[in-house]
Amino acid sequence: MTLRLGDIAPDFTAETTEGPIHFHEYLGDGWGVLFSHPADYTPVCTTELGAVAKLRDEFNKRNTKVIALSVDGLESHKDWIGDINETQNTMVNFPLIADEDFKVSNLYDMIHPNSSEKATVRSVFVIGPDKKIKLIFTYPASTGRNFDELLRVIDSLQLTAYHSVATPANWKHGEDVVVVPSIKTEDIPAKFPKGHKVIKPYLRTTPQPNID
């Protein structure tokens, strides 16, 4: 199954390290991140899960739940978490899906046969409150993901969803943002009272609206 931006994220039930979940119910009315791992007891995955655990407060600030997946079993996951906590100096604080039957992996096209027929690639899906897919990342098994970049993207997606702005290249939290084209220039002052700049008729910027 090939998924694209704007598609409804497939719903599923699964066993996890925190008990059975029904995915859409787990997400509730917030945002979600589903990310996969090639296998348990692998070095890059160990660092990634530790990094996500340390960022739990940052995801909470963004009303975002995280959930991980690999095709190993539940007992393997639970044992591996001990290694993650020990080596990464943290406590894994989110569920890991045990996808031994590849049900979720196939729903989300996480198995790429030309890479591996038995292990998932490093997929990331960001899902909005409407249960639609807002972002898809795919990394090779050898490359650890940048979760600071994932938080930056979630910030950008939420700015667009709630404030009708987009973010320019290399944008960081606190920098000016771009007013979306659907807003007329004459309507900008009422919507963005912090001020704005008209660089070109199609390129208007304003200070980030959700910070003082």
In the set 14, 27, 33, 45, the catalytic residue is 45
pLDDT of res. 119: 58
Q: State the Cα–Cα distance between residues 162 and 154, nearest whole angstrom.
A: 12
Q: What is the pLDDT along the chain (212 residues), one digit of tens a residue?
A: 689 999 999 999 999 999 999 999 999 999 999 999 888 999 999 999 999 999 999 999 999 999 999 889 999 999 999 999 999 999 999 999 999 888 998 899 887 545 555 555 679 999 999 999 999 998 888 889 999 999 999 999 999 999 999 999 999 999 999 999 999 999 999 999 999 999 999 999 999 999 97
Q: What is the pLDDT of residue 112?
A: 59
Catalytic, 203? Answer no
**DSSP characters for 45-92?**
HHHHHHHHHHTHHHHHHTTEEEEEEESS-HHHHHHHHHHHHHHHTS--
Sorted by where each starts, the structural domains of the chain and their CATH numbers stand as: 13-145 (3.40.30.10), 164-206 (3.30.1020.10)
What residue type is 8 in one-letter code? Answer: I
Give the burial string for 128-157 (b: 16+ CB within 10 Å, else e): beebebbbeeebebeeebebeebbbbbbbb
What is the pLDDT, as a whole number, of residue 38? 82
- Nearest CA to 125 out of 115, 139, 113, 112 is that of 139
